[in-house]
Amino acid sequence: MIPSARAVLLCVVASVVVVSVVRGERMVGGFQKLNRNNAEVQEIVAQAMQKLNDESDSPNWQKADRVVRAKSQIVSGVRYLITVKLRETYCPKSQSPDNCSTYNSVNAGKSLVCELDIWSQPWMDFLRVLKKCPQ
């Protein structure tokens, strides 16, 4: 039996994918790990925290103390999955964080490790932020 062109093409594509995965190469459309100290990561976390604070009913500011890990995916824009250590500060939103002495005190306030699912389309001025924290 002679294999069809479609079957041969499917085998070639599957082989390329397997070789890429084995060699540790990133698949097109997949997530790429990011350095958690990368300026891009720090900037998108700052934007996400601003949006979360603006939309939160909490009387106090929330702050991302530390990025634990980060990865991104090119979609229609960029999707980020970023794990952060968040802290509910003792600083009221009625006061600027710059004027609150405990805002940068890492041990002041309740901390949680949460995942931020961020979708950014800067050309549309669009930022969607979903926060998942343990209960």
Residue 29 has pLDDT above 90, yes or no: no
Are residues 22 and 37 part of one domain?
no
Exposure letters 7-44 (e unless 16+ CB within 10 A, then b): eeeeeeeeeeeeeeeeeeeeeeeeeeebebeeeebeeb
Q: Are residues 64 and 40 part of one domain?
A: yes
pLDDT at position 103: 82
State the distance between the two ends of the chain, measured CA to CA, in whole angstroms: 59
The residue among 15 and 53 whose pLDDT is bigger is 53
11 and 37 share a domain?
A: no
Residue 86: pLDDT over 50: yes
Residues 35 and 24 occupy one common structural domain: no
Residue-number span of the structural domain to which 35 is assigned: 31-132
In the chain, % of residues over pLDDT 70 = 79
**pLDDT class for 97, splitting at 50, 70, 90?**
confident
pLDDT of residue 23: 53
